[in-house]
Chains A and B, each alone.
Chain A
Amino acid sequence: MAPPRQTREVVVTGIGAVTPLGLGAATLHDRWAAGELGIVDGLAPCSAFDASEHLSLKESRRLDRFSQLAVVAADEAIAQAGWTGALPYDPTRVGCVIATGIGGQTTIESQVILMHERGERAVSPLGIPLYMPNAAAAAITIRHSLRGPSFGVVSACTSGAHAIGSAMRMIQYGDADAVVCGGAEASLTRFGIACFRSMQALSESGVSRPFDLRRDGFVMGEGAGVLVLEEREAARERGAEVLAELAGYGSTTDAHHITAPEPSGGPAARAIELALRDAGAAPEEVDYVNAHGTSTPLNDAAETAALKLALGEHARRVPISSTKSAIGHTLGAAGAVEAVATVRTLMTGVIAPTLGLEVPDPELDLDYVPGEARPLPPANGHRPLALSNSFAFGGHNVVLAIRRAAE
């Protein structure tokens, strides 16, 4: 391995989320910790989200639903960072990386139907600006006048985590002093659901119960998660409140199968090891793992294997829980939504449980926090550290290491 670079450090100063549990980062974690579910009839839509409460008619008809969710989550994160009204940095030093697994699914579907019904000339000139996967990133840059590097990221269910990792590197390398980053997905359409159902990825029972013996697939969700990242010294100089430190990022690939995870968990374990090394942390320092935990038979087994490989004996001691047990799988948003939930876990000291986990799988023998929320265990000699895992169709693996902010 190459020696670690001396790099600038990255802190989180704002978080925002729109999820099946409602609006807001705190809402997501509080309701999940209280055992509430955002899943209804086997799907997890953002039912509380009403675009007209946040966006003008002009704004909302220029944005596909995935971008609308991203813009509202970004507004929350940016307000929390204290940026509302005026950017604290030269705009050319502020970037924006917003991921999605698919892009504007609702737009693609409605425009294709329109084309079949009324011909090519009926297709909307807004089609491309609505459905392009970089539309959410572009919308946020326009709304907040961010003029540093910006783009979308696409890697299925690791998209959101890749966006955060890319943003972190952008700050560390010096290409930006702050980056608005995250992910968004809104593909609960007839075609979107049919495609996932056809490949038998979705739960037949309509229940998300990661790590349970009866798990039978994931529940499709939608949502957005956004974080404001800043270079530590710049954040300190402007007196920003630091919510957490983004301490490490690890990214690998299975190169095994287009949808099935590599069963040994080796490449995923390597991503965990890289994230810990990037954070300068030992496996024993991990106090909580926010699992990818999709509730599919293969993922939950491979993830368990990966945790054992990477953390050794400590894997049996560390509490592990899955946000997807409460809100289903938000696909390209998941990595970002779950990073937001992980930041809230470190801020509140409350580990939300893996909901629906009632019948243990004898093959999966780690502590998946069934039942009730519990306090974060006391950290001995280090600031609490959490991992947020994301694994994707395509074999992409991303792990973020997040540390509680210094007192």
Chain B
Amino acid sequence: MPRVCMIRQGVRGMGGFFRKSSGTNGNRGSEDRNAGTKGNVPASSLSSDHDANVEQLRQIYANCADVVFRPFLIGGVTKATVIYIEGLTSVKDLNENFLGVLMDPSAEDLSIQSLLESKVRISKVEKVKSCEDCVAALSSGYPVLLAEGQSDGMALGLSAWDKRQIEEPSAEASVRGPREGFTETIGVSVSQLRRILKTPALKIEALKIGSLSRTQVMIAYLEGIVDKTVLDEVRERLKRIRIDGILESSYLEEMIEDAPYSPFPQVKTTERPDTACSGLLEGRVVVLTEGTPFAMVVPTTLFSLLQSQEDYYQHYIVSTAIRWLRYLFVALSLLLPSLYVAVLTFHQEMVPTSLLITMAASRESVPFPALVEALLMEVTFEVLREAGVRLPKQVGAAVSIVGALVIGQAAVQAGIVSAPMVIVVAITGIASFMVPRYVVGLAIRMLRFPMMLLAGSLGLLGIMLGLILILIHLSNLRSFGVPYLSPVAPLKPGELKDVAIRAPWWAMDTRPHMSENDRLVRQPPGQRPGPHRKKQ
């Protein structure tokens, strides 16, 4: 097997590095194993021989019906071929601004170079020197021009394809705030970031990851604010990835996590540009992936995951109250079924007497012990929830509500479960929707079941042991070097203003302190608003 292509360092024009290995790793990588399936892209450069070049490319793209080879004559004289992939190219522009110009007899005298400089009305043109550069360019939708007598090809920036319109992200809707979300086209996403942070300090570094998918991945950060160690770490980890295809940013997430066995997410994913930019302003790094609207913001802490962007758009007193409610309900969604099982099975003296009597009465006909009942109901609820996700919107809502009500009611009447249990499960379900990030909610849902088992075997002590284990895990967890429980542990009093409450904007003087950071102060202090101050 011929060795696959060399690394092209510093070739910015194509918009990316190649993800191929250098030196020893290549032969062990997945490339060689898959080499047969992707078609050998020989390492050869293009030659001046136009026909040979075209022939090479034809062989590479054998059996690809959507690759179009259009031979023509420049100025009626020079042999040339333009190669493009249908569907990825703006054919209209190709025709008018390129083919039209080059095929014109007046083009005969001028060299390609001068043609490009004076006649061809295309904004972005780059040289391609080798076969795999051609392939890279073609895959991104850039038509490639190969001409007789030219040892380099020209890639034209005429990519255009149908893309989804910018819509409100469905998973992160808000009452107040921008309603734009990222899209699958990375260019558009980057442009959205640029529109919000109109500063040259916003740096975008590009990578291509995935041997078969060559997905474009962009790292965005604000120079001077971002923490350099985190940035280096992000780059390092992304470069380490060897995989055949990246379909979603979650692939990247799983490959660059600190603790792969932890149920807790160590990156924050968001579809909203404003969330991403708020992360950038705090000194974090945003990773965008082609093909998915979900961007990753790293590093993240548990408390950052429990915040919703809308907290910052509502009035701060309201937001503080909602935050507290959210913390309470997150705790409830983890603990409520376990507490119910523990109290009813081990600590019955905690229940007020009249309530206990009522519960005892309602449990008379139930055949299961409290633990089994709880597990049954929780599992049923999870099933209902998961099933409801796949249903079409109209049917889904009706089925879930009606289903839950009817099933719950019927179960109680049949004496399979007791009414208090249904209430507990319902409250738990509602509580789990309070978690703003779906993934954290998932983690908590998963953890609920071991907690119930612990509660059923050791009562309140079991719950405490479970909480201790979770706490130890969280205490040891880091996201790109930042402790996961920061700023509560290690305690950073200055940052608590964004965790315990939501400080008003005039009090948010400093950025979160992730590691040593120069630009901690984000705005001048002392800006509390009031009646008009004396004019100076």
A in complex with B: no
Interface residues of A (CB under 8 A from B): none
